[in-house]
């Protein structure tokens, strides 16, 4: 920014035609003249053939946008307020490539529970990883499955596992990358285990839907090898940081060993003001609904401290772009690509014909509370988990998390997403019109 100011000062002595501003973030191919905007990049370059660093020829370079670049000046005298904290970098999907600072040594394998069909793939994967000198972590309850516990041929491998227990053991600094075997719920569970930085996630489609699990297990050896070697694309799936503040209505014994309601970790407890705070990282959505009550829910929604609307209906969904293809899509919202920095607000059966879903910028803070005139309490859940009751005086604060989930792609972020839309949600599937046959020319 300081260099740009110096350029603007020096250009005052030059002619208007010579005073051109070059955006360094666009590698010098974006030129801005104070009199006339000059787009140095031709229209045909919006999707050029030059591949991203470390990628193959099948990855096409898309135009990279970095806010507030490529243009920070507007006319001869206006510019963006210089505040580094407000600058948001918009990822270029073609340049998102996985790289390792050091070779990965540990991997967390998460298997869908209560599914006998996954036992054989789980054994094959773990055996392959250990043969390649990887340290394999699994949840303790996975090895307690009777089918695995009674398998004598798998006994030698079981002794090499490192195990952990959810809500008891912290493995966040011990895992280099994650492999999920199951459906979308398995990936959501993996996200919930990491309340801070999330290692890269490789998800195999062995469940029912598989929108978030692009890999097929047939060629898992070669695919896992590519990931370990750092030859893969990733899509950064934004998460929501959710803070629930409740008024204490019970004794101190409401919190045991640092755990709050439903076994969630109590992020803070202030007995002086009688408030209890809990924090969650959410990949799909936060759902506020009316619960078992027969009355409509009635909650106020604030955006950066301003009341924007009151939701009267069955509830409201606050989702990430990843969650836009989940509950929000069923409630009538648009589907948003994970690279779009946004937060979606979708009403559930609103008692108003004009209440349409809206999209707000990532980074804003939403606050949801029961309306003073609400007849009943509300209930909230986070990716379908940790469901709890919200009463008058309680609040739910939601903003974009600093810790996205890096999901490894089969091809690239754009191709994988549209493939999932077509295969899982059958997006825009219909019978095609028959074309007119050409009439023979009369002689």
Sheet with strand 201-205: strands edge to edge: 162-164, 135-139, 106-111, 177-182, 201-205, 405-408, 234-237
From 17, 167, 170, 184, the catalytic residue: 184
Read off φ and ψ for residue 224, nearest 5 degrees.
-65, -40
- Beta partners for 243? 279, 397
| 184 counts as catalytic | yes
Tell whether omega for the bond before 70 is within 30 degrees of 0, i.e. cis.
yes
State both tokens at 373. 């005139």
Residue-by-residue DSSP string for 205-246: E-SS--SS--B-GGGHHHHHHHHHTT--BEEEE--EEEEEEE
Pairwise CA distance, residues 169 & 162, whole Å: 12
Each residue of 237-248: b (16+ CB within 10 Å) or e? bbbbbbbbbbee
Residue 427, SS3 per DSSP: coil
State both tokens at 8. 């603007």
Instruction: Give CA separation, 386 vs 181, 192, 282, 389, in Å.
Output: 23, 10, 11, 10
What pairing do the DSSP bridges indicate for beta strands 20-22 and 306-319? unpaired
- DSSP E strand boundaries for 73-227: 73-74, 78-79, 106-111, 135-139, 162-164, 177-182, 201-205
Q: Is the dihedral of CA 364, 366, 367, 372 positive or negative?
A: positive
225 Cβ contact partners less than 8 Å away, ≥ 6 residues apart: 132
- 170: nearest Cα among 193, 202, 142: 193
Active site residue ranges: 184
């Amino acid at each position: 920014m300081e260099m740009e100011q110096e350029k603007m000062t020096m250009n005052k002595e030059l002619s208007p035609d010579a005073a051109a501003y070059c955006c360094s973030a666009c590698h010098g191919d974006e030129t801005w003249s104070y009199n006339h905007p000059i787009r140095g990049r031709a229209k045909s370059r919006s999707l050029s053939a030059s591949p991203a660093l470390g990628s193959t020829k099948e990855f096409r370079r898309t135009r990279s946008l970095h806010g507030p670049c490529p243009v920070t000046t507007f006319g001869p005298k206006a510019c963006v307020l210089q505040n580094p904290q407000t600058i948001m970098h918009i990822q270029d999907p073609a340049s998102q490539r996985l790289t390792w600072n050091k070779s990965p040594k540990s991997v967390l394998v998460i298997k869908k529970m209560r599914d006998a069909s996954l036992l054989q793939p789980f054994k094959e994967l773990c055996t392959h990883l250990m043969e390649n000198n990887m340290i394999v972590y699994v949840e303790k309850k996975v090895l307690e499955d009777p089918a695995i516990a009674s398998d004598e041929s798998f006994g030698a491998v079981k002794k090499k596992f490192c195990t952990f227990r959810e809500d008891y053991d912290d493995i966040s600094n011990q895992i280099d990358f994650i492999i999920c075997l199951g459906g979308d719920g398995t990936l959501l569970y993996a996200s919930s285990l990491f309340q801070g930085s999330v290692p890269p996630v490789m998800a195999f489609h062995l469940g029912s839907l598989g929108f978030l699990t692009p890999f097929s297990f047939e060629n898992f050896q070669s695919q896992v090898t590519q990931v370990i070697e750092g030859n893969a694309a990733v899509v950064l799936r934004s998460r929501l940081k959710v803070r629930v503040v409740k008024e204490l209505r019970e004794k101190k014994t409401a919190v045991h060993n640092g755990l709050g309601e439903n076994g969630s970790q109590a992020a803070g407890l202030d007995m002086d003001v009688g408030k209890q705070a809990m924090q969650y990282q959410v990949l799909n959505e936060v759902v506020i609904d009316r619960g078992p009550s027969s009355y409509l829910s009635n909650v106020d929604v604030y955006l950066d401290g301003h009341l924007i609307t009151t939701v009267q209906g069955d509830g409201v969904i606050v989702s990430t772009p990843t969650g836009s293809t989940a509950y929000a899509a069923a409630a009538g919202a648009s589907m948003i690509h994970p690279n779009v920095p946004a937060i979606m607000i979708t009403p559930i059966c609103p008692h108003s014909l004009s209440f349409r879903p809206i999209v707000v910028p990532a980074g804003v803070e939403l606050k949801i509370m029961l309306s003073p005139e609400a007849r009943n309490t509300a209930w909230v859940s986070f990716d379908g988990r940790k469901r709890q009751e919200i009463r008058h005086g309680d609040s739910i604060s939601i903003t974009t998390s600093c810790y996205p989930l890096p999901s490894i792609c089969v091809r690239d972020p754009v191709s994988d997403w549209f493939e999932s839309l077509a295969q899982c949600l059958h997006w825009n599937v219909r019978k095609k019109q028959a074309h007119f046959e050409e009439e023979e020319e009369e002689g």
